[in-house]
Amino acid sequence: MSSLPVRNQRAVIESAAVKALSELTVTVNRSLGGGLRLLTLKVPSEDASVLEHVHAGRFVMLRCDEAEPFKFRRPFSFASVNAQAGTFDIYYKVVGDQTRKLADIAPGTHLSGVLPLGSGFTIPPPDTPAILIGGGVGVAPLLLLATELVAAGRPRPRLLFGGRTSTDLTLEYVSGFPVEVHPATDDGSHGFHGNVVELAALEGVAKDVYVYACGPVPMLKSLVEMLPQAVSIEASLEEVMACGIGACYGCAVRTDGLGAESMRLVCRDGPVFDLRQIRLEE
């Protein structure tokens, strides 16, 4: 069992930096193919300091359709942040009514968002190898993590990146990040023929490695079973949220804790958790 606390202290320390901003300006909203899209949002200059607190694994709650104020905001991980330009990027997939609305939004439109929320990934100790394992759109926070690792003087991390088919991988977009991509597709259309967990098993994962993951629940469950030797497996989890700020208690996940501790809130106590302390339900 890893010693990583279930609650990441970073979220607590930086909570004073959370803002609800009504005027995030859409500057880019373009297709990357395969239903995947890139959204760039510009923060008003007077609130630009909020970007200093954006870290890999943290998230923004975005209102996707201002005409439907009683739909929940949707949580999105940060894929990249540009403090100089005052912008951040969301890498998202059109999967439901709200992301469909989001896909239709033209540059120049204002969206409201609450950010930055939740805990981030922890950076491993120096000289400790890190490996990133992403499934589909779950690669988003890992791209920012790679950027942070390299900025912290670590080598470009290996990214095992899986999708059902080649268009899920948006390789051109991902090539803009400091990662050594090892692709895998279920249909064999690009890279390794199989899923990322099988690829991880094939390539081997060293004993002292820090694993960072984000993707579908079956992938995360398999990872825990396949990588008992990893020092730590941190994963960013996804759950339906009404508020994103720890008020509604809707986004619960079961942990191996006892009593009231046996349930944690993804928004407040995560979304990054030590995966071995979480009991994932499919």
Partner 1 sequence: MAEDAGQMRVAAGRLEFKSPVLLASGCASFGEPFEDFFKLTEVGALITKAITREPRAGNEPVRICETPGGMLNAIGLHNPGVEEFATELLPKLREAGVTVIVNVAGHSEDDYIQVLRRLRDEPGIYGFELNLSCPNVDGGMMFATDPVLFGRICEKARAVTELWLIPKLSPAAGELAPYAQIADGAGMDGVTVSNTHPAMALDWRTGRSRLSRPSGGLSGPAVKPLTLYNVWQVAQTVPELPILASGGCSEACDVIEFVRAGALAVQLGTILFHDPLRPRRIHEELPALIAECGASTLNELRGRIG
Point out which residues bind partner 1 (CB under 8 A): 15-20, 69-73, 114, 239-240, 242-243, 245-254, 259-263, 268, 281
List Cα–Cα distances, 204 to 16, 125, 147, in angstroms: 41, 21, 24
Least separation in angstroms between residue 21's CB and partner 1 is 10
Report whether 237 contacts 261 (CB < 8 A): no
Least separation in angstroms between residue 194's CB and partner 1 is 29
Report whether 64 contacts 41 (CB < 8 A): no
Closest residue by Cα to residue 97 from 115, 74, 128, 131: 74
Nearer to partner 1, 230 or 278 (CB): 278
For 169, which DSSP code? G
Nearer to partner 1, 38 or 217 (CB): 217
Take residue 42 and report the two structure tokens written for it.
């510009």
Nearer to partner 1, 186 or 239 (CB): 239
Least separation in angstroms between residue 28's CB and partner 1 is 26
Nearer to partner 1, 95 or 240 (CB): 240
Give the separation between CA 199 and CA 161, rounded to whole angstroms.
9
List Cα–Cα distances, 233 to 60, 114, 143, 195, in angstroms: 23, 28, 17, 18
Nearer to partner 1, 61 or 209 (CB): 61
